[in-house]
Amino acid sequence: MAKLRIKKSTHALNRSLAGDMSVTGILVIFGIFMAFPMVYSVVQSLKPLNELWMFPPRFYVVNPTFQNFSDLFYLMSTSWVPFSRYIFNTIFISVCGTFGNVMLASFAAYAIAKIKFPGRKTLFSIIVYSLMFNSTVTSITNFLTMSMLGWVDTYLSIIVPAIASPMGLYLMKQFMDTSVPDSVLESARLDGASEWKILWTLVMPMVKPAWMTLIIFSFQGLWNQGASVYIFSEQLKTFPYAISQIMTGGIARAGASAASAVITMIVPIVVFVLSQSQVIQTMSSSGMKD
């Protein structure tokens, strides 16, 4: 009887060929829908002006050209603020904000998840509740705070709020709850390891999928940061803001606008593709507990 039950349960776990084909077909359909906007953006960037304004629009290009990219680079070279400055601002803000967010979220998540201190559950509840508030709701309060600190029209006005994002802390804490056994930490403490050593040598490697996912989300959000209400100086504005100014140039700049959309989305897509396996692993386990 036992052998029969084992054989039955093993057979139940195996999907049929038809089931595998159905799942694959559904995933392919959803994949096409997800990839379509990106493919269409690339197609638009290769269209000459006469094809860009055709109605109804075509989802293919008849006479592909790179003139749109040439026009974009020409407009970038004639800007009174060098485009290299916009690119530097974006890279600096994205890297600093992402690094700070990962570090702060990791430290705070480890303390809340693995160190028992009075009020930690209340503190985490406050963090969860803060996720309900949209940035628009707190914009006036944030501006007043930035003004009092003297951070208006500085990099800090964008970097510091990104570092303190509660979403990263929530993600890291949930992943540590499910992926870091308390027994491993207790063994390390009995061996005389400090909390810092435990965090760097044990916990951080074990939660690599979580902080890789956080890097992707944080970097994408900061890379796409456009015009900010805290930044007034043209020399401190970001690359997406400069691109948006080109896109408001009217019909004559429609081709350059299409090319700029492709350039803007390249970096986030590359970062995501290189780390997509880590994202899937994090999403599948960060919300579950044993």
Q: What is the CATH number of the domain that holds 98?
A: 1.10.3720.10
Per-residue buried b or exposed e for 180-218, using 16+ beta carbons within 10 Å of the residue's own CB: beeeebeebeeeeeeeeebbeebbbeebebbbbbbbbbb
Query: Of 7, 38, 65, which marks where a domain is finished?
Result: 65
Residue 169: helix, strand or coil by DSSP? helix
Please tell me whether residues 105 and 58 are part of one structural domain. no
**17-48, pLDDT tens digit by residue?**
777 788 888 888 888 888 788 888 888 888 87
The answer as to whether 118 is a domain residue is yes
Residue 97 lies in a domain: yes
First to last CA, the chain: 31
Give yes or no: residues 179 and 269 share one domain.
yes
Looking at the fold, whether 160 and 200 belong to one and the same domain comes out as yes
Stronger pLDDT, 250 or 141, i.e. the higher one = 141
Residues 91 and 204 grouped into a single domain: yes
Average pLDDT over residues 252-265: 77
Rounded to 10 degrees, what is the CA torsion of 141, 143, 144, 146?
A: 120
pLDDT tens-digit map of 233-245: 888 888 888 777 7
Same domain? 169 vs 279: yes
**Can you give the residue range of the structural domain that contains 133?**
81-285
In a domain, 11, yes or no: no
Q: What CA–CA distance (Å, rounded) separates 258 from 70?
A: 12
49 and 147 belong to one structural domain: no
Query: What pLDDT does 281 receive?
Result: 55
pLDDT at 100: 92
Instruction: Please report whether residue 290 resides in a domain.
Output: no
- pLDDT beyond 60 at 278: no
Name the domain count of the chain. Answer: 2
Residues 38 and 103 occupy one common structural domain: no
Task: Judge whether 10 lies within some domain.
Answer: no
Q: Are residues 125 and 265 in the same domain?
A: yes
CA Rg, the chain, in Å? Answer: 25
Shared domain check, 222 and 273: yes
Burial of residue 286 (CB within 10 Å: 0-12, 13-18, 19+) is buried
Residues 94 and 182 in one domain: yes
0.85 surpassed by pTM: no
pLDDT digits (tens, 9 = 90+) for 57-72: 778 787 888 888 887 7
Interval 148-182: pLDDT, tens: 888 888 888 888 888 888 888 888 888 888 888 88
Residue 267 in any domain: the answer is yes
* Per-residue confidence (pLDDT) for residue 99, from 0 to 100: 92
Q: Is 13 within a domain?
A: no
In this structure, the answer to whether residues 101 and 217 fall within a common structural domain is yes
Name the band, by pLDDT with cuts 50, 70 and 90, for residue 206: confident
Mark whether 54 and 93 lie in a shared domain: no
Q: Assess if residue 72 is contained within a domain.
A: no
